[in-house]
Amino acid sequence: MSIRAIASRPKVVLLDFDNTLYEYEPAHEAAMSAVRVKGHQLVGVGSREFDRLFERARGEVKGRLGAVASAHSRLLYFQRLIELLGLKTQPLLTLDLEQTYWRSFLGKAALVSGVSEFLDELQLQGVPKALVTDLTAQIQFRKLVYFKLDECFDAVVTSEEAGTEKPDPAPFLLALQKLGVGCQPNEVWMIGDSVEKDLEPAKRHLGATTFLVSHASSVRVAPHAVDGVIRGFEEMTQLVRRLFSGQEPQGKVVGA
């Protein structure tokens, strides 16, 4: 789906974070292998067993908590994993595994090409932008500082703060509220990697123009929910430049 057909300027841009601004899978893989090594060193658990228990721990935590930010907490997963090993609760060991996870995660994670330039371009054109992301604020803020994106957003909404996760409308509406703008349909752009969690709800509740960030070579998308598919942010920068070039926005008196 080409983004060339898009003709109206955004008033607000909302972005998802994980797997949208950086590719999640390689970072997660690197983090898990570092944690596996540590798990083996500290409690002698083999990697297959470790993976099995991690899946089980995650399943339990998610099942118990439902769609809230802490359901993604690696700290809780590792805590439960250690308990499943029959070791009772081990706060220090749990913290150690969690910190190892995020350090290795950030060490591998790299921004998708053109993200910073795109955000700069929006800044230049005076378009406010907000990050709408599931997960706890602590780790998301840390990621923002690590990627040097902490100055780039006018508002950040985490699901911890919103109380519910996407696709619930609450995080999206909170973001618009923080930006202090009311929006007509097509005035909001939503950029994310998940049709179901980012794009479909943004379309339904805000009437947003939606962009799917894809790291895979081919994607099949539901055409009604997705207006464009992008692989890097360079094309988005081009699009913004095109839309904002030429005449001044309507309603502004020129040279009077």
Partner 1 sequence: MKAVFREPFFLFGLVVRLMLIGFAVPWTQQSWFVPFMASFVAHPTIDPWGEFLRQGGDRLAFPYGPIMLLAYLPGSLVGEMARGALGLAQAPFIGFGLCSLGLELMLFWAMIRLSKMDAKRLLVPLWLSPMAVYICYWHGQTDIVPIVLLVVSLLALRNHRAAIGGVLLGLGIAAKLSMFLSVPFIAVYLWRNARQRILFVPFGRGLIATVALSTVLCIMLPGFREMVLGSREFHKVYSAAVELGGQARVFVLPLAYSLVLYAAWRVERTSFDLFLAFIGLGFFTVLLLTPASTGWYLWVLPFVVFTQLRCGVATASLGAAFGGVFVLTNALFASGASIPVMGINLQSAELSAADPHCMLLHSALLSIQCVLGALFCLQMITHGVARSDYFRLSRKPIVVGIAGDSGAGKDTLASAIAQLFGEECVTSISGDDYHRWDRHAPMWRVLTHLDPRANELARFARDVGEALDGKRLVTRRYDHATGRFFREQRNSKNDVVIVSGLHALFVPAVAKRLDLSIFLDMAEELRTHLKVKRDVGERGRDVQGVLANIAKRQPDADKFIRPQVAKADIVFSLGVSDSRDVESCVRDSRYRLDVLFRNGVPSDSIVRTLIGLCGMQVDTDLVEGSGTVKVTIEGDVSPEDISMAARPVAQGMEELLAREPQWQPGMLGVMQFISLLQINDSLQTRITHVY
Contact footprint for partner 1 (CB under 8 A): 99-100, 103, 106-107, 113, 141-142, 144-146, 150, 217, 231-232
**Residue 63 or 151 having the CB closest to partner 1:** 151
Token digits of residue 176: 């618009």
DSSP H or E segment with residue 140: helix 137-146
Residue 215 Cβ, how far from partner 1 at the closest point, in Å? 8
Token digits of residue 155: 């508002």
**Residue 221 or 243 having the CB closest to partner 1:** 221
Residue 225's alpha-carbon distances to 100, 147, 156, 228, in angstroms, are: 38, 29, 24, 9
Token digits of residue 235: 């094309």
Residue 231 Cβ, how far from partner 1 at the closest point, in Å? 6
Residue 34 Cβ, how far from partner 1 at the closest point, in Å? 10
**Pair 53, 81: CB distance under 8 Å:** yes
Sign of the CA dihedral with 20 first, then 172, 166, and 150 last: positive
**Residue 105 or 244 having the CB closest to partner 1:** 105
Closest CA to 9 of 234, 248, 255, 198: 248
**Residue 33 or 113 having the CB closest to partner 1:** 113
Mention every residue, 6+ apart, whose C-beta is less than 8 A from residue 254.
247, 248
DSSP H or E segment with residue 206: helix 200-206
Residue 219 Cβ, how far from partner 1 at the closest point, in Å? 13
Catalytically annotated residues: 16, 18
